[in-house]
Structure 1
Amino acid sequence: MTGRPAPVVLPPLLRAWLGPIAALATLMVIVLGVRYAGRGRPGMVDAWIQPAVDGVRSPWRHVALATDFLGEPVGAAALVVAVVAGCLLLRCPRAAVFVVAGAGLAVGTATLLKSLVGRSIHGEDNLSYPSGHTAFLTALTLAVALFAVGRLGLGRAAGTLLVLAAALVAGAVMGWAQVALGAHYPTDVLGGWCTALAVTPATGWLVDRTADRLVARTAGRAAGRAADAGREERS
Structure 2
Amino acid sequence: MRQLVRTAPAALPPVLRTPLAMSAALATAVVLALGILHFHDSGLTGLDAAILPSIDGVQPPWRYVALVFDFGGEPVGSVILVALLAGVCVLARRLRTAVLTVLGVVVTVAVTTVLKPIVGRNIHGEFLSYPSGHTALATALALVVGLLLTDRLSLGRGAAVVLVLGLAVVAGVAMGWAEVALGAHYPTDALGGFCAALATVPATAWLLDRVADRL
TM-score, with length taken from structure 2:
0.95
Alpha-carbon distance in structure 2 between the residues aligned to 1:76 and 1:16: 29
Aligned match of 1:200: 201
8 Å CA contact 2:58–2:182 kept in 1: the answer is yes
1:144 Cα offset (Å): 1.4
After TM superposition, the runs of 4+ consecutive aligned structure 1 residues lying more than 4 A away are none
Task: For 1:13, give the aligned amino acid.
Answer: V
Alpha-carbon distance in structure 1 between the residues aligned to 2:91 and 2:17: 27
Residue number among 78, 102, 105 corresponding to 1:103 in the alignment: 105
8 Å CA contact 2:8–2:93 kept in 1: the answer is no
1:5 Cα offset (Å): 4.6
Alpha-carbon distance in structure 2 between the residues aligned to 1:5 and 1:90: 14
Structure 2 gap ranges (5+): none
Q: Percent identity?
A: 56
8 Å CA contact 1:98–1:203 kept in 2: the answer is yes
8 Å CA contact 2:89–2:148 kept in 1: the answer is no
TM-score, with length taken from structure 1:
0.87
Spell out the pairing of 1:99-178 with structure 2 (5 A cutoff): 99-124=101-126, 126-178=127-179
Aligned match of 1:217: none
CA RMSD of aligned residues (A): 1.4
Alpha-carbon distance in structure 1 between the residues aligned to 2:70 and 2:189: 15
Aligned match of 2:53: 51
Alpha-carbon distance in structure 2 between the residues aligned to 1:48 and 1:91: 46
Alpha-carbon distance in structure 2 between the residues aligned to 1:150 and 1:122: 43
Structure 1 gap ranges (5+): 215-235
Count how many residue pairs are aligned between Structure 1 and Structure 2: 212
Please state whether the residue corresponding to 1:39 is helix, strand or coil. coil
Residue number among 11, 14, 27 corresponding to 1:12 in the alignment: 14
Pair member with larger Rg = 1
Higher RCO, 1 vs 2 (CA within 8 Å, ≥6 residues apart): 2
CA deviation map 1:90-141 (0-9, x unaligned): 22221110000001110000000001100000113x0000000000010111
Please state whether the residue corresponding to 2:35 is helix, strand or coil. helix
Aligned match of 2:84: 82
Please state whether the residue corresponding to 1:70 is helix, strand or coil. helix
